A and B are shown apart, each in its own frame.
Chain A
């Protein structure tokens, strides 16, 4: 984020939606959106993701606190359901630019560029009402990007798309984000897509920010088990920490961790699936014992292997069609290994 500066700063924000028993409150003490950066907002349903997005878009008025614009330029939002305007695809993008006093040539250039970017230039003359779900999403994004926004808010941009549609759109969206200086916020329940697009992560829970920070930091060091599950650290094992460098699961099972000083603490050891290795040679971590393969599921790209170890079900990923992934089967006995630096202790 070299040269990045805050585009939007949230301070002491309090939002309230609904009434009576269904009232929902969102409290965000501090959150910054950076120019040229993309923040993924993760969280379970009802955590407040959409409420936050609407507040950032200025659609709802905060009860308390403030959202400060630090850069000039439009703040725009792409809704979860694509909402086309009546008329052609090209008209839709032009309509979005109606609020900007642009010379006709520049306007046409921006329209063409946005349609090209999202691969819908061939549909320019088509009535937007006849587009497929995927094409409509591309139109919504093209419309927003044509504005050259200072802040771009995306609510579940991959919702209802099939796998190949998601794949193609996420790559186009990633390229579009990389080519802009906008501060982007992506709300999505799809962790993989979120990671593809973002450099920062904020995890919401029950209307509060449970954790926020650089992507790698949040992925590797979630603050609690809730955040850990949300960011894909699915292997969570209850342990007792034994200084200086062991997490004890039971009499037979111990996990090597980096040395630290917290004697006797009851804790959780978190291991990201991609950091847990099965049947590898030397130099790839320290063995923690043998486990039995329970399930092997492939989506064509990755193989998810579930292994029973010390009474827990641990998950790991292999690359489909390569090495062990071609031969591993349920019932196999495998050796599990991890590197101490890949163990995250939640004390």
Chain B
């Protein structure tokens, strides 16, 4: 029987936050520009791209876990990297889950902007980087919605991280995989402790983001 140790809970919590934080940051860095691009540009194949994004928003995490596992399995195309059962593989799986959410919500936010917004900024001679910053300010409510959705999705996700991380103690165990494991072992005290932390994290982070988002509403 395992002991309920604050250090154990803290270790798993810190790893959870690190994996989810990195995955969220990567999703935003990759997803925001793609969302803006898909939302503003008209090109052949755009509808296909948007449909892929929309389908991706509902992709089952366990299937994502399976696909990422196949990529990083020893015999897979990226097997030589030896990332299977590492936090890196978990971050990648979570990015795959969060990316469509970030792209989809961003493109919807950008699509609601006046179609001449960018041209107006350009004709005022505003430099590209500052223009990007203005655009982010413009769609900040949508961006925060994307952050809330993505964070909620990856923080509570278990199928993909279990498939690619393997729930190795001290290496890839995160709150969701720990809760699942302790529940299956009948160690409800530990499972409940981890679940309380996860629930608390979800509430605090989503709450804080919502406060920021609604504070930004004019």
Contact = CB atoms under 8 A, between A and B. Distances in A.
Interface string B84-120: 0000000000000000000000000000001011011
B46 interface: no
B123 A85 contact: no
Contacts of A99: 124-127, 130
A327 interface: no
A95 interface: yes
Contact of A86 (B126, B130, B138): B138
B137 interface: yes
Interface in A177-215: none
A58 B125 CA distance: 12
Interface in A70-125: 74-77, 79, 81, 83, 85-87, 95-96, 98-100
Interface in A105-159: 127, 129-130, 143-144, 147, 153
A57 interface: yes
- Enumerate the 4 nearest inter-chain pairs by beta-carbon distance, A residue then B residue, closest first: A99-B125, A77-B123, A83-B120, A96-B124
B199 interface: no
11 contacts: A59-B122, A74-B124, A76-B124, A76-B125, A83-B114, A86-B138, A95-B124, A98-B127, A99-B127, A147-B125, A153-B123
A91 to B, nearest CB: 9
A95 B218 CA distance: 19
A85 B125 contact: no
A81 B123 CA distance: 14
Contacts of A87: 137
Given A95-B134, A129-B218, A130-B218, A83 B116 contact: yes
A155 B114 CA distance: 16
Given A76-B124, A96-B124, 8 more contacts: A59-B123, A77-B119, A81-B116, A85-B134, A86-B138, A95-B124, A99-B127, A130-B218
B116 A85 contact: no
Contacts of A98: 126-127, 130
Contact of B123 (A75, A86, A100): A75
Chain B contact-residue range equals: 10 to 19
Nearest to B134: A85
A309 to B, nearest CB: 48
Contacts of A79: 116, 119-120
B166 to A, nearest CB: 45
A98 B140 CA distance: 20
B62 to A, nearest CB: 39
Nearest to B141: A86
A79 B119 CA distance: 9
A83 B140 contact: no
Contacts of B127: 98-99
A86 B114 CA distance: 12
A85 B114 contact: no
A86 B140 contact: yes
B131 to A, nearest CB: 9
A100 B137 contact: no
A167 B122 CA distance: 30
B117 A83 contact: yes
B130 A74 contact: no
B124 A144 contact: yes
A86 B119 contact: no
A130 B120 CA distance: 19
Contacts of B130: 95, 98-99
Nearest to A77: B123
Nearest to A140: B120
Interface string B130-150: 100010011010000000000
Contacts of B120: 77, 79, 83
Contacts of A57: 123
B218 A127 contact: yes
Nearest to B138: A86
A95 B126 contact: yes
B110 to A, nearest CB: 13
A83 B131 CA distance: 14
Nearest to A73: B125
